[in-house]
Amino acid sequence: MARRSDEELAGLLEKFVCVRVVQSYGMDLSLFQFDSQLTWAVFLLTADKTIYGRYGTRASGRDRTASISLAGLKEALRGALELHGAYPRDRGALAGKTGPAPLWPAPERIPALETVPWWKGRAVPADGSEARCIHCHWISSGEAWSLRATRKPVPDKLLWAHPTPEVLGLTLDRAERATVAKVSRGSEADRAGLRTGDRLLRLEGQSILSIADVQWVLHNAPGVGSLEAEVGRGGEKLDVSLALEPGWRRRDSLKERTIAGLAAELLAGTGPLKSASKERTAALGLADGEMALELESDWQTYCNPSAKELRKGDVIVAVDGRKDLTTEDAFLAHFVQRTAPGQEVELTVLRGGKSLSAKLRTP
Amino acid sequence: MLSASSLRLRIIGCLLCLACVSSGSLLTKALGQASDKEKLRKALGDVELAGPWIYDDVPAGFALARKNGKPLLVVFR
């Protein structure tokens, strides 16, 4: 059990101007770009808006806080203070920590947050001087929805945002800045020669204070290419190159992001799906690995009304003839990225030994 | 009973706020912004402010950082 006060942390925090932000209305999205799905995220930066680093990572699995710790936070603070002591000498090296121009300058300017009833109806009066309280986790999903609504491409970067290092086979120690705790065999990290205990000093030229800083580099990384890393090992510095293979970003999970829930409910109307078990697919006459996504619940009233005939236990085996959407993530991404407002979509569904056609109309 | 992840988030969040108690600063009130943000804090049912945290006012944070030369820590929570 942690102590109620932490003098070491207090001492570090005294060296910062500490600001707590509780909602995102008015947030400058040209500056504050982070995984908006987080319920707790930190920026370390200068008064002239040069970012030293980020802290805060949402782990997958049951324990969402498995990738953060007080020890790791203190390390990030110390790292920021080191950078601050040298500032502005290394200012050029910090340029990459600021993102490109945002799609919209502030959350309240994202069209979907003003027009989609699901968001609009959830406005919470704050102190009376502002009419809205915008939740951070609405930002990226609002952006995706707004792009889709105007038939513009929704990039993978927006859906699979801020990938965790695990997508490249790298697990980092949450108590350190960016120290390798584990390398998955055969992964990009393994093939690059990274080892347990290595310290990621720089990635794509950016100093690394935390796992979130690694995620920031991955977030802005190309679909195919490589990432150049400077690694500390046994007192020496090494240069390492991590390959980025096609589809690397999609290895991260889409399921727990807000956009996935919206796609499942408002677009597809299916609600949550799971891959049908081997026994179930065999009983249905499907080969192992064939598309077989099973509905986990009956249609709900808040879901796409054109899907109301769907039932718990239905198994979806094709979408408009496509049988390659073998995971829930692929299925939901298809609805976000490949359907347009007002489009008719045909699901091929197996129920009770029969093949049925369910025609949906996406909003 | 709280799950491990909920307990960890609460501990980190509380320690960030409570860790500044020892400094005893009244900086937020000195900036004259307590009344507006106090309404916000109460509307959200948020925890009591402790120490020198600036509440939901990023421009004030930048202004103070320009004045005292410190870096900023901005928490979104």
- Note the pLDDT tens digit of each residue in A169-201: 999 999 999 999 999 999 999 999 999 999 999
pTM attached to this predicted model? 0.87
Is residue B23 very low, low, confident or very high in pLDDT (cuts 50, 70, 90)? very low
Which residues, in sequence order, are CB contacts of B30 under 8 Å at separation 6+?
Answer: none
Q: Is the CB of B20 less than 8 angstroms away from the CB of A23?
A: no
Is residue B5 very low, low, confident or very high in pLDDT (cuts 50, 70, 90)? low
In terms of Cβ atoms closer than 10 Å to its own Cβ (0-12, 13-18, 19+), residue A200 is: buried
* Residue A268, domain extent: 258-361
Residue A217: name the closest of A258, A255, A248, A173 by CA.
Answer: A248
Give the best residue of B8, B20, B22, B72 to mutate against chain A (max A CB count within 10 A): B72
CB proximity under 8 Å: B 50-69 to A: 51-58, 60-62, 64-66, 68-69
**In a domain? residue A130:** no
CA distance B77 to chain A (A): 5
Domain edges within chain B: 4-68
pLDDT at A1 over 50: no
Total tally of structural domains belonging to chain A: 1
Number of inter-chain CB pairs under 8 A, A vs B: 173
**In a domain? residue A316:** yes
Task: Assess A74–B contact: CB distance below 8 Å, yes or no.
Answer: no
How far is it, in rounded angstroms, from Cα A228 to Cα A89?
A: 22
Residue A212: name the closest of A158, A163, A140 by CA.
Answer: A163
Question: ipTM value of the model?
Answer: 0.90
Residue A43: name the closest of A15, A68, A76, A10 by CA.
Answer: A76
CA distance B63 to chain A (A): 8
Note whether B21 and A82 are within 8 A (CB).
no
List the CATH number of the domain containing A292: 2.30.42.10
Is residue A6 very low, low, confident or very high in pLDDT (cuts 50, 70, 90)? confident
Q: Is the CB of B76 less than 8 angstroms away from the CB of A15?
A: no
Is residue A65 very low, low, confident or very high in pLDDT (cuts 50, 70, 90)? confident
**In a domain? residue A348:** yes
